[in-house]
Structure 1
Amino acid sequence: MISHRIGTYIEQNLKAKKWEAKDLASISGVSASDISKYRSGTVAKLKAEIFYKIYKAFGDSCAKATKAVYPDLNLKLDKYAPKARNEFGQFMSQFETIKNSPEEIATKTRLDENRLKDLYFRKAALEAYEFLLIEKAVGKKQGELFEEFYG
């Protein structure tokens, strides 16, 4: 898990915009109690949807918000090399069309493959930093996948 600084981000933007927390709640659609929890730092995991709603409410880009909320997040991807195949496996590869499989994304992003399976096939809450890494791994611009999924 990567630590976030959403509380500081919220505080700085509320002050800059001369807003109250209730203004952010109204504009973002995030409950006032959730905003209070994030401001106070009592929530360790920042859900991707909450991150999206908050930076959109402040009128920021995903890239700008990411720099403020995750200043130490390494968005550099690792290389993915499929496992070596035998002769039959090489022959059969011509019939495969899978791209951006959970295995490939796990390798590129350094996220645990079981965690990705939880996100893909079960009801796991997607964290913002995970979404940022996945977004990069599938070749989207920062914020583009957030907009497609939540916008």
Structure 2
Amino acid sequence: MNHKIDNYIKEKLQKLGWEDKNLVEKTGLSKGQISKLKNGHVERLTAEVFYKIYKAFGDFCPKATKVIYPDLDLKLKKYSPKARNDFGSFMDQFETIINSIEEIAIKTGIEENRLKDLYYRKAALEAYELLLIEKAVGKKQGELFEKFFGHTS
């Protein structure tokens, strides 16, 4: 997913009259990392970096999302569980699974294997993925960012 973090950073720095060092201090990111982000040399924008940047600027997730991901379609696909036979239908009453990997994969369009990498391995969660996952599980935009990364700032 293409992002415009470089434009966002440049616009915000100019608007606030900040230098790169101000953003380094506020985010805890390195000067080199800020420079790469600002100059468009970062292909994949992790959810944590996205969060640190918009929080440092005092922004809210929905506002930052519109600038950084202007082409991101947050419309979910419809999830329909697989058809069950008689026994499967009977057992349905005992199940309480919601927001399964399968359901989130179908709703968001993120491949199930990618979600498994995010859930069970050390894959770097991209910002647009968390934005889609938030929507799929019925959370407000930025809510999971705050819950997951808010304690690290």
TM-score range, shorter chain: over 0.9
The alignment status of 1:106 with 2:105, answered yes or no, reads yes
Where in structure 2 are the equivalents of 1:47-66 lying within 5 Å?
A: 47-66=46-65
Are 2:15 and 1:16 equivalent residues in the alignment? yes
Structure 1, 23-32 or 99-108: larger mean CA deviation: 23-32
Code of the aligned partner of 1:144? E
Deviation at 1:41, TM superposition (A): 1.1
Q: CA-to-partner distance for each residue in 1:49-69, whole Å, 9 max, x for gaps?
A: 000000000000000000000
Q: How many matched pairs?
A: 150
**Unaligned ranges ≥5, structure 2:** none
In 2: Cα distance, 1:3 partner to 1:126 partner: 15
Percentage of pairs with the same residue: 67
For residue 75 of structure 1, what is the amino acid of its counterpart? L
For the aligned residue pairs, the C-alpha RMSD in angstroms reads 0.5
Equivalent residues in 2 for 1:82-101 (5 A)? 82-101=81-100
Using the alignment, how far apart are the partners of 1:13 and 1:145 within structure 2?
23
Letter in 2 for 1:121: Y
Shift of 1:97: 1.0
- Matched to 1:7, the amino acid is D
**Cα displacement (A) at 1:42:** 1.2
The residue type equivalent to 1:98 in the other structure is I
Unmatched segments (≥5 aa) in structure 1: none
Give the deviation of 1:34 after TM superposition. 0.8
The 1-side partners of 2:29 and 2:130 are apart by 19
1:123 aligns with 2:116: no
